[in-house]
Amino acid sequence: QQDWDERLRGHLAWVKSGGAEGRLLSLTKVTLADITITGAVLDGIDCSGAEFYRCDLTAVQMNGCRFAQASLQDCIFDKAELVDTICNQTVVRGTSFVGANLRGSYWRGANLRRVDLATSLLEGAQFEDCQFDRVIWPSPIPDHLAAIIDNGVNR
């Protein structure tokens, strides 16, 4: 845990200083399981190819992060800030985004199953060539997503 705390402090310094201090945190191809990191500022990190299992990331700030070819299994991103994240070919299973801000996020070729987006902010979010199974969508469904879903049911 001490190593994580030190890495998170270094990343926060990097974010606050615009890269002049601290160090950008990278989670590329890392496997994280049963970890709780709540309320942390993780803007800009690269999680490409990372695997997250049963992680609690409640209220984290991960704006502009990359989750390309990542796997999010049974995780909690409730109240998280995930603005402008890139989730290409991401596999998401049993994961909650209750009250999360996913504005401007980009999902291409992603596979979402048992995902709760019911109270997420999805303005400007794009889902292209994605597979959906038992996704809980916001009600009412945002107009820009109506082409891919119908009354909460995937087309």
Higher confidence at residue 88 or residue 149?
A: 88
Beta strand pairing call for 149-150 and 153-154: antiparallel
At residue 51, φ and ψ (nearest 5 deg) are -120, 120
* Side-chain-facing half-sphere of 153: CA atoms under 13 Å: 3
The predicted pLDDT at position 98 comes to 96
Q: Do 134 and 154 touch, CB atoms closer than 8 A?
A: no
Average pLDDT over residues 126-136: 92
Residue 1 contacts by C-beta under 8 Å, 6 or more apart in sequence?
Answer: none
The predicted pLDDT at position 33 comes to 95
Q: Which residues share a beta bridge with 130? A: none
The predicted pLDDT at position 8 comes to 82
Q: What is the per-residue pLDDT across 9-46, written as a single tens digit (0 to 9) for each?
A: 888 898 889 889 988 888 999 999 999 989 988 999 99
pTM: 0.88
Residue 116, amino acid: D
The predicted pLDDT at position 140 comes to 81
Q: What is the per-residue pLDDT across 65-114, written as a single tens digit (0 to 9) for each?
A: 999 999 999 999 999 999 999 999 999 999 999 999 999 999 999 999 99
